[in-house]
Each structure stands twice: as C-alpha cells, then as structure tokens.
Amino acid sequence: MNNTAVSHIIRFVLLLLAQVVIFNHVNFLGYINPYIYIIFILLFPIRDTRLSLLLVSFLLGVLVDMFSDSGGVHAAAAVTLAYARPVLLKTSFGMLYEHHNIKFNSSELGNLITYVTLSAVLHHFILFSLEIFNISSIILILKKTLFSSIFTILLSVLLIILFSRNRK
C-alpha cells in the first residue's frame, strides 16, 4: 500500500460518490447528465497492467449501475472504454505514449482535450445505445451522446486541471 495506490482508491470513492449523489441528478434541460466517473479510468496509471484496469473499471461501472438502477449499461461502457484506452492514448498523445512517458499533470492541454473528447464520446455512445436499446431511436441516442459528451468533456477537463498539482 503505497501513496499512489491510496490516492487512487480515494479518487475512486470520491468520483463514485460525486457521480451518484450530484451529477446523476443534474438533468440539465431535462435529460443531460455529465458522467464524470470516467476520469478515474482516464487517469489510471499507464504502467499498471491492463487486466487490473479492466477489472477496476468493471467494478466502478457496476457500482454506478447499482446506484442508478440501470442494469449493466455503465459497466459495459466503462469496460469498453478501459479496453480501448491504449488506442485512445496513442492517437491523442502519439510518441509520448510509445515511451510510457505521459504525465497527465504536465501534458499539453490540446492533447488532453483530444483524449478526454474521444473517450467521452466512445463511452457515452455505448452507454446510451445500451440504455435505450432500440436501433430505431438512433437519433435520440446520437442526440443524448452529443449533448452529454459536451457536458462531460467540459467538466472532466476542468476537474483534471483543477486537481492536478504541479501545473504551471
């Protein structure tokens, strides 16, 4: 139990609580909610194995599902995001990822925004597809994905910047 592990556990709990207590009940314009718990999956240490990331993401998703009575939609979306993360990292950070050298705290803001945007859109698309579960409502799925993603991206980038310690 070192320092990083503890801080990640605290982040896990805080993000989960913030999500289910505050952000699930925003309902901006009736249906737009940000899903900021994906920050945990985004900022999971890169050096750790992908297996543990998958397992932890699944757990996080199931817990969010439990609180919001939504079956397994958050779990499915979170696991997909966790599995696709290396690809997303490579597209947004390029060479830095190849060298296992990304510091989320001090990376370029542009790269960070690309990373968060791609992740949020992927996650939300899976989430709403499964939640609505009806291919004929594809317009509704896309609409919800678009608006909720904008909300999530804004909040996530703000939160990541706010809570990163050594940004100049």
Partner 1 sequence: MQQIFNFVIRNKTFLLFLLLFSIALALTIQSHSYHRSKFINSANGLTGGVYGTVNSVGQYFDLKDENELLAEENKTLRQRLFNLGVSVDSSFVDSTYVNGKYMVVVGDVYKNSYSLSNNYLTINKGKKDSVQQDFGVITSKGIVGIVDNTSKNYATVLSILSKKSRINAQLKATNHIGSLTWNGDSPETTQLMDVSKFAPVKVGDTIVTGGESSIFPKGIGIGTISSFETDISGDTYTIQVRLFNDMTNLGKIYILENLDRREILNLQSTIDE
- Residues of the shown chain interacting with partner 1 in the complex, contacts defined by CB under 8 A: 17, 20-21, 24-25, 27, 30-33, 50-51, 54-55, 58, 61-62, 65-73, 75-76, 79-80, 82-83, 130-133, 140
Measured from the CB atom, is 46 or 113 closer to partner 1?
Answer: 46
What is the closest distance, in whole angstroms, from the C-beta atom of residue 107 to partner 1 in the complex?
25
In the complex with partner 1, the residue whose CB is nearer, 56 or 153, is: 56
CB of 64 to partner 1, least distance (A): 10
Terminal alpha carbon distance of the chain:
30
